[in-house]
Amino acid sequence: MLAVTVITGILLTWVLLSRRLARWSITAPIAMLAAGIALTGGSDPVLRFDLDRAAFEHAVEVVLALILFADATEIPAGVIRGEKALVGRLLGGALPLTLGAAFLTGLAFFPEQPGWTLAVLATVVVPLDLAPTAALVRDRRIPARLRDVLNVEGGLNDGIISPVFLLCVAVGVESHTRSTDYGEALLEAIEAAGWAVAAGSVVGCTTGWLLRRSWEHGWAHHSATRIGVLTVPVTAYALSVSLGGNGFVAAFVAGVCFAPAARHLPADAVETTNDLVTLLTVALWFLFGQIVNDEFWDGFQTSVVLYAIVAVTLVRMVPVMLVLTGSGLPTTDRLFLGWLGPRGVSSIVFGLLAVVELPDRSGDFVARVMAMTVMVSIVLHGLSAEPIGRFYGRGKGPPRPDSRTEAAS
């Protein structure tokens, strides 16, 4: 209970000072990470988390399920329709190339590691998380078109990578066994994905239709709809797991299927889900502080640092620049979209699941590189936020305040 008290106390302190801290781009994830590093480090730390492996795996999966569902329901349909060519280039072209670049970079820096371990690592370090750079994404000095496209990409990116991650983990686990039956591992992964898609589609469409009809006919209280929305990802997760599918993939599919109905519900219908996601993710950032201490207490490996730097810069920038050639975007805008690929909670969760699923040496390796990649991303993208805003704001006057919520930042 001491850990809960400390985490909530730190979060409350950040809330009280959030507007002032925003001037220095100190978001809730950054504040919780710093506190986690400070309070879990040293030979006699103030706090220490020793978690049951099986329970921890399910807890992390539920957190990811809620994140993916919230991301899917918040994707603005108008932006997808209006910018489908640009979004399609980023997700259909740049994303596969980025995964391939991350894998090849791993081969160059870690030739001693098995190929499937490096494939898992690629899926861990590539997903985007805009929360650590929320101030930049809300900055009115940045063209609205670029911010909207980033929000759509961030909402769909980790959901698309999730099944690829599961496939790589399944084959990676099989590669460490004596049988090395890759075909069986592949079939099991495809079967799990199939059950996840089926469960997510059924739950998302059915609950969406029911909640919309209930609200339109006046059968449900305003506050009750928020609870109803929260049950959707939990139901999709539980049903998928019971059928042998993957829970967080099902939650993402449920969010995609539920999103059209959500637009006909009260504007704050998803707020309870979003608030819960915010609380769970800030706690995860605090836990990430302990991971950083554990992984780097004995020092840093040059190859890990260099890989992390390349992973958060060239691995994304080069594919994005290539894919957006001929799109009509100015070079500065293409550079902006290529540069702004922050890593965060999705990478942390995928990395933790890799630790649970992979053999110890491979899991520890993935966790170490993931931790360094997220840390480098926080530093580089955090430091670049204000200069980028100033660059776009030249001659536009002071930025107008953003009416959107800042709670998740």
In this model, does residue 310 exceed pLDDT 70? yes
> Over 90: is that where the pLDDT of 93 sits?
yes
Report pLDDT for 404. 40
pLDDT digits (tens, 9 = 90+) for 99-152: 999 999 999 999 999 999 999 999 999 999 887 777 777 788 899 899 889 888
Highest mean pLDDT among 43-47, 176-180, 377-381: 377-381
pLDDT at position 178 is 55
Give the start-to-end residue ranges of the domains of the chain. Answer: 50-393
How confident is the model over 170-187, as a mean pLDDT?
71
Range with the poorest average pLDDT among 23-27, 59-63, 100-104? 23-27
pLDDT of residue 379: 87
What number is the average pLDDT over the span 339-356? 91
Give me the pLDDT at residue 408, please: 45
Q: CA 114, 185, 178: angle at the middle one, nearest 5?
A: 60
Query: What pTM does this model have?
Result: 0.86
Q: 50-393 in CATH: which number?
A: 1.20.1530
Please work out, in degrees rounded to the nearest 5, the angle formed at the alpha carbon of residue 153 by the alpha carbons of 150 and 154: 80
Q: What percent of the chain has pLDDT over 90?
A: 43
Say yes or no to pLDDT of 274 above 70.
yes
pLDDT band at 402 (very low <50, low <70, confident <90, very high): very low
pLDDT averaged over the chain? 87
What's the pLDDT band for 330 if we cut at 50, 70, 90?
very high
Mean pLDDT of 217-228: 92
Choose between 139 and 66: higher pLDDT.
66
Place of tokens 């391939």: 100
Phi, psi of 408, rounded to the nearest 5 degrees: -80, -10
Report which DSSP code applies to 402: P
More confident call, 395 vs 155: 155
pLDDT at residue 348, as a whole number: 93
For residue 58, count other CB atoms closer than 10 A to its CB.
14
